[in-house]
Amino acid sequence: MSNGRNGPLTGLRVIEMVGIGPCPFAAMMLADMGADVIRIERKLDPALPNPYPSLGTKYDVMARGRRSLALDLKRPRARHLLLDLVAKADALVEGFRPGVMERLGLGPDVCSERNPKLVYGRVTGWGQTGPLAHAAGHDLNYVALSGMLHAMGEADRPPAPPLNLVGDFGGGGMMLAFGVVCAMLEARASGRGQVVDAAMTDGAALLGAMMYGLRAHGSWSSERGANLLDGGAPFYATYACADGRFIAVGAIEPQFYAQLLVLTGAADPAFVPQRRQDDWPALKEKFAALFATRTRDAWCALLEGTDVCFAPVLDMDEAPQHPHNAARATFVDVDGVTQPAPAPRFSRTPGHAGPVAAPDGPAILADWGWDQDAIATLRRDNIV
């Protein structure tokens, strides 16, 4: 069964070891594109506080588009059942600390014995090897080690946490999904699976490839807020408007900058030398004063849709309502929850955002080849 209708990954079977952060994000991406992703659930420890109250509800957006099977992997028969599923899968993805799956008897060596073509995707913060491999950490720590966190924020402030977009989701989940699809394609030709080691430190560093190139060229300063793309340039920055809301301006190219000056009525000759970096702090103050003279909606009426490279800074309530996002169906409604639609888009085999994972063990086993007598036995013995 595919939860992505006729998406480009329809027909592929993936086992997801349920966790938080990058692994469910990667599994969501695979399910959005049609893969039959089965979540292997574990019970939360009631003695521990739950910092993620949306888990297991319709608000757990990253759990969309797949079914779940609860197994107590401390029980040998449950582990044997999981290995039977592995034998029928194209990939398994997990996001535990190095060694956890091995201690459960479910590491890549054991799984590859059952299925030599299995792609075994692993995502961690520090990676499977290295001095920090077994240390605890979170997104912010991994991005810090990549060199990218130092580049974010204002010059006179500490580096600004970029939510958990750069580590968990960009450097971790997306790299895991990309790596797993790459390895599944290779396995079709070679008949052999392999382990995909997706480390958020590696992924966050890779996202900074352009900046590292500019740094080596000598055209990127280590000082925050002093560069073309980090808010240092007055023509690539955000500004407050008269109503306290914000706009984003990205008029990098000379012709776009020239149009910005014309449309905003910036008549002061000081605005004209765009690339003289010594002038940037003073120009930024001038732009700040200019944009503070009108409301955000007034600036939108004047600048949106032009080549000024302009957009309003929308909050998460506003973004789904914007006419461009609405026209492209950038957001969808699933069970009353507004959420981002699958991306990217395909002209012939579109993705699909399915409902949040629901327990469906017997149906999963039936779809994956178990007969009804075997399923009845597993249910009777409380394995599923």
Write out the two tokens for 7: 């998406």
CA separation, residue 288 to residues 281, 303, 310 (Å): 11, 16, 15
Catalytic residue among 134, 138, 150, 324: 138
Short-list 269, 272, 316, 353, CA closest to 63: 353
User: Catalytic: 138?
Assistant: yes
Is residue 296 within 8 A of residue 322, CB to CB? The reply is no
Catalytic residue among 32, 168, 230, 360: 168
CA distance 314 to 322: 9
Short-list 201, 226, 198, CA closest to 214: 226
**Given strand 236-240, what is the order of strands in its sheet?**
236-240, 246-250, 310-312
Residue with tokens 């790299």: 175
User: Catalytic: 243?
Assistant: no
Is residue 180 within 8 A of residue 97, CB to CB? The reply is no
CA 192 to chain centre: 28
Contacts of 369 (CB under 8 A, 6+ apart): 88
Residues annotated as part of the active site: 138, 168
